[in-house]
Amino acid sequence: MKRVPLYSRTPVRTPAPPAGSSSPSHEVPTADEEDAPGVLSRAAARLRGALGRHERWAWAGFALLLAALAGWPSWVRHERQIPTFEQIDSAMRQSIAKEPLASAAANAYEAVIGSVVRVVGEHPSERADPKEGEERMSVGTGVVIVDKGIILTNLHVVSGAERIKVTFHTGLESEATLINVQPENDLAVLQVANRPDELEAATMRSTGGLRPGDEVIAVGFPFGIGPSASQGVVSGLKREFRSPQGKRVLTNLIQFDAAANPGNSGGPLVTMDGHVVGIVTAIMNPTEARTFIGIGFAVPIENAAAAAGLPPF
């Protein structure tokens, strides 16, 4: 039996429509017309149709592609560029010149100054004529160690005083009462009657890690002027000091070379991180001038805290 072909290579045409008919003639495509070129042409037609329907998006994508291709070399160069040491150094110098860094001593001063007070002990007059009504005053410094108004100072600043006055950093003045003493370390503990609403207590730090050469500042009221700050280093540890009259011997002291003068007594010795490590108590001077020659002494804060009844570090 003869097989019926599935398709024929001979073009098959439909009969011509009757005369007067408006229907267009259609031709049945052959296998040759439905090969690959025909498929591609139809795909191209579909693509053109899609582009026509989304013309704006097509142009936007094309523009982005061109921009990316145009900027690619510069991106590569930018990623591969590594700044030199000279460029880094120059940039750092320019930045520091525009905004200089605050010194470590200035930062330490700011950290402790709210806790530093001026201490004045008023003593009876030694003049024979009481009508004069004159009084002697001993001026020193103190540091707030508890925010309820407990202050450390030197015993020799307030010893024998009939009245003790304290002036806070805010300018507020208050009378103070002597509540404890530690004569072997020349320390006195005061309690004020009035205090600022937001009184700052100093941060204390153990002297365990303190070493000669560490930078420190001494804050106080030398000769009543202040508050003043002076900078130096720790010169030595576990020093001993004997008063010129030989009546007082202090041991286990911190030696420092930050300038200290009468009036600094009782003030804090402060590290560069703003922590109090000692209470300034004496200066060494072989003359009667009572001025600083480069050697000062401070009681370690461990002893000072013990005088105030605070737990050890």
Classify residue 55 by its DSSP letter: H
86 lies in some domain: no
Q: How many structural domains compose the chain?
A: 1
Q: Is 186 a catalytic residue?
A: yes
Residue 211 located in a structural domain: yes
- Per the CB < 8 A criterion, the answer to whether 309 and 180 are in contact is yes
Cα separation of 229 and 222, whole Å?
9
291 lies in some domain: yes
Examine residue 241 and state whether it is found in any structural domain, yes or no.
yes
- CATH code for position 165: 2.40.10.120
Query: For residue 215, what are the domain limits?
Result: 110-124+136-307
Q: What local confidence, expressed as pLDDT, does residue 223 receive?
A: 93
Pairing, β 173-182 against β 163-167: antiparallel
Q: Is residue 40 part of a domain?
A: no
Annotated catalytic residue within 138, 156, 235, 257: 156
CA 257 to CA 21: how far, in whole Å?
A: 122
- Return the pLDDT at 86: 82
Q: Is 156 a catalytic residue?
A: yes
Examine residue 159 and state whether it is found in any structural domain, yes or no. Answer: yes
Asked whether residue 213 is domain-assigned, the answer is yes
| Active-site hit among 186, 230, 235, 275 | 186
| CA–CA distance, 92 with 163 (Å, rounded to integer) | 55
First to last CA, the chain: 116
Catalytic residue flag (residue 265): yes
Q: Establish if 143 belongs to a structural domain.
A: yes
pLDDT score, position 305: 78
d(CA 192, CA 173): 9
Please give the pLDDT value at position 128. 43
pLDDT given at position 24: 47
Cα distance between residue 250 and residue 45, in whole Å? 105
What tens-digit pLDDT sequence spans the chain (313 residues)? 444 444 444 454 555 555 554 544 445 455 444 455 565 566 666 766 666 666 666 666 766 676 666 655 555 555 557 778 787 878 877 777 777 777 899 999 999 999 999 999 998 765 444 445 455 889 999 999 999 999 999 999 999 899 999 999 999 999 999 999 999 999 999 999 999 998 989 999 999 999 999 999 999 999 999 899 999 999 999 999 987 665 678 999 999 999 999 999 999 999 999 999 999 999 988 777 778 889 999 999 998 878 777 765 5
pLDDT value, residue 70: 62
Backbone phi and psi for residue 146, each to the nearest 5 degrees, phi listed first:
-135, 135
What is the structure's pLDDT at 25?
46
